[in-house]
Structure 1
Amino acid sequence: MPTALVIGHSAKASLRRLGPWFNGQGLDYELRFGGDGLPDSLDGYAALVVLGGAPLPYEDDKFPWLPATRALTREALDRHIPMLGICLGGQLLAYVGGGTVEHRKFKPEHGITPITLDAAAADDPLFSVLPATFPMTENHVDHITSLPDEAVLLAHSDRSPVQGFRLGPNAWGLQFHPEISAANIAEWDADDIRDVEADGFPWAEVLDRDSRYDEENTRPSELFARRFADIVLGR
């Protein structure tokens, strides 16, 4: 079965629900925690998926495997290997391509957030499966503040001008988290809850909103994941 390399920035990182959806389409994956070391190249892999994490994409002192992650991102772009970057992964893709990522340039986003497609999404191989507006989970204080010149903007939110974009024919960056369900958010630890509330998001309201929109969030997330797998598999 073709295999995607998945890079996590925490020893507890996971594809969560994306994993079974990928498998259901015939795409396997290998999850590697960057701190344990990363492959020298994408040889043998059908795709690259980079998950979220705490640092900015250039804070190598905090996450010393970021240079290797950027190199694999650059390889995916140069070789047109399908890539999906989620949150920090999307920021890394933008940064590698020549865009900018800044800390708290805009207001933070936590929990379920309405996402709106831009006009170019209608013709995009991946984003065209999504409805015009849809709720997705957010959890970030860093933002993509400018895209690479050749990038195509695909989605935005009220607080983030870049929620989704494509770079090249088949590399996509996301600010939102299609892998996170309401059940996942309910498991966030005390440190996460403290940070969310410090940014002005009462935890009880976050949980209530995520629960109310869980079904409306799950449907487009599954469509999105299965479509990415199909793209990887050449369908």
Structure 2
Amino acid sequence: MRPFLLLASREHDVVADDEYRAFCEYSGLGPEQLHRVRAEAGPLPEIRLEDYAGVMLGGSPFTASDPHESKGGVQRRVEAEISALLDRIVAEDFPFLGACYGVGLLGTHRGAVVDRNFGEAVGPVKVRLSAAGLADPLCAGIDPVFDAYVGHKEAVRRLPPDAVLLAGSDTCPVQMFRFRCNLYATQFHPELDLAGIERRVDAYRHSGYFPPREAEAVKERARGASVTEPQKVLRNFVRIHAG
């Protein structure tokens, strides 16, 4: 089968490698089946969509909705290059799944209002599938209400009319959405497990997600949840599009 592509943009090596580990593990793909490109490390290479079965986009310390002038040069380059790739992905309705940062990039690309009104603290939240989510193939086999790990400063405040809302939470009304047939984004992290969130708490404790002195309390909250359902999104994405 054709491999899948993971676009990453985490410059923290430990977190980046753990993210890749989790995407491989929970999608069921081996390293030879999930090619990784670290966009923050340098210009994107030529990407031929026909060489891949689908594209996944991981999370990022970048915040897509920040004013352009406040973004560093690396972030501006990464977002310009991914936006150009999204032009092609959207035009072809090519299988795409963006996690967390993907909400900002795909949402902005398609005209959603993305801002800081619905940021969520690092840790578990209860996510609820909508009626459309219950019927969507990417949510097959997922409990209607499930725990997921989040941690984000921005979120979608308003989706455009051509988007389909698939899931939300009490603190963030848009947790998952779809454009057309094959373009998806989740605000929660479908790849994130307890080991992964603890590594990210350590790596990003000074990045404004929580007061640094509360890092151990954040980990303790994460340990209090059973997060097993979100990973099914990755398995479904691969099952549907592998060929």
Instruction: Choose which of 228, 233, 242 in structure 2 pairs with 1:224.
Output: 233
| Structure 2 unaligned residues grouped into runs of 5+ | none
Task: Quickly say closer, same or farther: Cα 1:113–1:68, change in 2 above 3 A.
Answer: same
Q: Which letter does structure 2 place at the counterpart of 1:212?
A: G
**Equivalent position of 2:204 in the other structure:** 192
Q: How far, CA to CA, are the matches of 1:94 and 1:144 in structure 2?
A: 7
Residue 189 of structure 1, CA deviation: 5.3
What TM-score, normalized to structure 2?
0.84
* Percent identity of paired positions between Structure 1 and Structure 2: 27
Task: Quickly say closer, same or farther: Cα 1:106–1:221, change in 2 above 3 A.
Answer: closer
Superimposed CA distance per residue, residues 4-43 of structure 1 (whole angstroms, 9 cap, x where no aligned partner): 2211112332333221233459981111111322144423
How is 1:1-235 mapped onto 2 (pairs within 5 angstroms)?
1-11=1-11, 12=13, 13=16, 14-24=19-29, 28-35=33-40, 36-41=42-47, 42-57=49-64, 61-62=71-72, 63=75, 64-102=77-115, 104-188=116-200, 190=202, 192-194=204-206, 195-198=208-211, 202-213=214-225, 216-218=226-228, 220-233=229-242
Q: How far, CA to CA, are the matches of 2:160 and 2:215 in structure 1?
A: 35
| Structure 1 unaligned residues grouped into runs of 5+ | none
Task: Quickly say closer, same or farther: Cα 1:128–1:57, change in 2 above 3 A.
Answer: same
Tell me the C-alpha RMSD between the 2 structures.
Answer: 2.5
* Paired residue total: 229
Q: Is the 8 A contact 2:139 2:232 kept in 1?
A: no
Q: Which letter does structure 1 place at the counterpart of 2:110?
A: G
Residue 202 of structure 1, CA deviation: 3.8
Residue 181 of structure 1, CA deviation: 1.0
Q: How far, CA to CA, are the matches of 1:133 and 1:189 in structure 2?
A: 25
What TM-score, normalized to structure 1?
0.87
Task: Quickly say closer, same or farther: Cα 1:230–1:66, change in 2 above 3 A.
Answer: same
Task: Quickly say closer, same or farther: Cα 1:33–1:207, change in 2 above 3 A.
Answer: same
Residue 105 of structure 1, CA deviation: 1.6
Superimposed CA distance per residue, residues 161-196 of structure 1 (whole angstroms, 9 cap, x where no aligned partner): 100001110111110012111112222355623434
Superimposed CA distance per residue, residues 139-181 of structure 1 (whole angstroms, 9 cap, x where no aligned partner): 1011111112211001111111100001110111110012111
